[in-house]
Structure formats: C-alpha cells, structure tokens
Amino acid sequence: MEPEVTPVRPPAGAIALAVTAQIAAYAYLLTGVFAWWWQGKIAFASVAIYGLSRAIAAWGLLRLKRYGSILEQVSAIVWLLFCVGGWRQFGVIRPLLLPGVLVSIGELVYLNGASVRALFGGAGVPISRAAVVSWFGSTAVAALFAAIVIPNILTASGRSPQKHTMADMRTIATAWEARATDVNRYNAAAIDFPTTGVTFENLTTYLTPTYVKYLPAKDAWGNNYHFGADRPWGAKEAAQVYTVISYGKDGKSQGKWEGGATTHFDCDIIYSNGTFLQYPEGVQQQ
C-alpha cells in the first residue's frame, strides 16, 4: 500500500504567479473571443489561444509542475517580444504595456532562480480539494465579471470613433456654411436626388485657412469623408444644399439611405445643411 501523500500549499511566489497567469488567461481568452466575434477576423483567435496557454500555465504553477514554469516563461517572452515590436514600430513603449513588461521580467527572474528551478523540477505537489474548488470558483467569478465588462468596453470603444467623426463633420460643415454666408452659395449635395461630387481638394482650397485652420480628410476609422453638391463645383448656379458623409466603420456606402437614427457601426453618418440626416443612436451592433 502506497503511503498517503498530504496535500501541501505551494510557496507564495508560485501562488502569485498562478493568480497573475489566471487573471491574464481570462482577460486574453475573453478579449480574443469577443474581438473575434466583434471584428470578424480570425487573427484575433491567436489572442484567445494565448489566453488558453496562460490558463494551462496557471494550473501548472499552482501544482508546481514543470510545464507550468515553462509555459509561463514562454508567455513572458512572447509579451516582451510584442512590446519590443511595438517599440520598434512607434519608437516608444505605450504606458499601458509597462506593467506587463515589469511583471514579465519579474517572472523570468523568479522562475530562473536556482531554488525555484529545483522546486519545479520534481513531480509536482497534490492540491487539496478545497483549494481546487476555491481556485476555480474565484476564477469563474472573475470570468463572469469580465464577460459583462468586456462587451461594454468594446461597445464604448466603438462609440468613440462615431462621436469623433460626428464632431469632425460639424467642423467641416461649420466652415462650409461660413463661406456660404460670404458668397451666398454652397458647393454641396442633398441625399434625396443625384449629387455632384465635391472633392476634399476643392474644400481645402476654398475653406482653409480662412474659414477653418485644419480640415479633416478622414473619419475616426481612417476612411475618407465624402462630399457632394446639387450643382457642379464650378457652376454659375448657386448650390443651396451640401452634404458631408462618413461611410462608417466598414468604409463602404450603404447605397440607399433611410435617414434617421441607426444602430450599426457600419451605417453611414450623413450631415447636410446644419443637421444630421442619418446618425448613430442607442446601443450599436457590429
């Protein structure tokens, strides 16, 4: 009969690493899954896979298994490489990434200490049933909290470009109207009949710097604004209606505008003659 093995408590350092890895695991898992669903890009699945590896590492760290130490070190190196890549591209490490950089360096130093390597070099330790229940219970609560918070964060981050775009459109329109006050004519378009295009270069030439110092060319998603007129730009007849249009998040025209409030990030935003004819309102959907 084999001797009974008494469950033990892992050292504080291993527990701290396990907790850190588990928190990161749920953050990356949920962020990756939601971002994949939100953006529709398979590339975000890699974020979820990274989160899954952190979850496996957390369980291994808690049980002092060698694979836990190895996976956690690999995760730390991946994070540092990601930060180095961002630094090489932008010339600076973003402040939000600095805590992760410091934690990753600390993990590598701790896990490569002689005593800690010996600690993870054995067969691991058994964990009491109560500890397992407590561990998974606390992480389940954290996962539930993240599942509620992350979609709201993603929605808020999606609304920010909409608000920025609408503010830019008002800026363009204000300058356009100021010029119309002086010359008694617009170079713009309505949405309920065929329009004549107005280029960004047209507006830049006639509006800057007299009516506005800087004229934004792109919306907050990085897509070009579109302009129109009910008369050609150089026509003798005075145009009476103008339109500024953002094609929304996807940068593609709806083709047919219904006007009024919209609830989709891809819907066009339309501003004409001092008012929004089509605009986002309420909860937005991908």
Q: Does the pTM of the predicted model rise above 0.85? A: no
Structure tokens at 45: 């699945």
Q: Which amino acid is at 253?
A: S
- Alpha helices per DSSP H over 113-265: 114-119, 129-183, 200-207
Name which of 26-35, 176-185, 188-197 the model is least confident about. 188-197
Distance in angstroms (rounded) separating the CA atoms of residues 241 and 243? 7
Phi, psi at residue 224, to the nearest 5°?
Answer: -65, 140
Q: What does the pLDDT look like over 170-188, one tens digit per residue?
A: 888 888 888 888 877 775 4
Distance in angstroms (rounded) separating the CA atoms of residues 12 and 28? 24
**Peptide bond connecting 95 to the previous residue in cis, omega within 30 degrees of 0:** no
User: What is the C-alpha R_g of the chain?
Assistant: 28
Distance in angstroms (rounded) separating the CA atoms of residues 113 and 77? 16
Q: Which of 139, 31, 120, 113 is nearest to 71 (CA)?
A: 120
Q: What does the pLDDT look like over 248-285, one tens digit per residue?
A: 888 888 877 778 888 788 888 999 888 898 888 875 66
Band of the pLDDT at 194, cuts 50, 70, 90? very low
Q: Give long-range contacts, CB 8 A cutoff, 24+ apart: 260-265.
A: 265/158, 265/162
158-280 folds as Glycoprotein, Type 4 Pilin (3.30.700)
Residue spans of the domains in the chain: they are: 12-127, 158-280
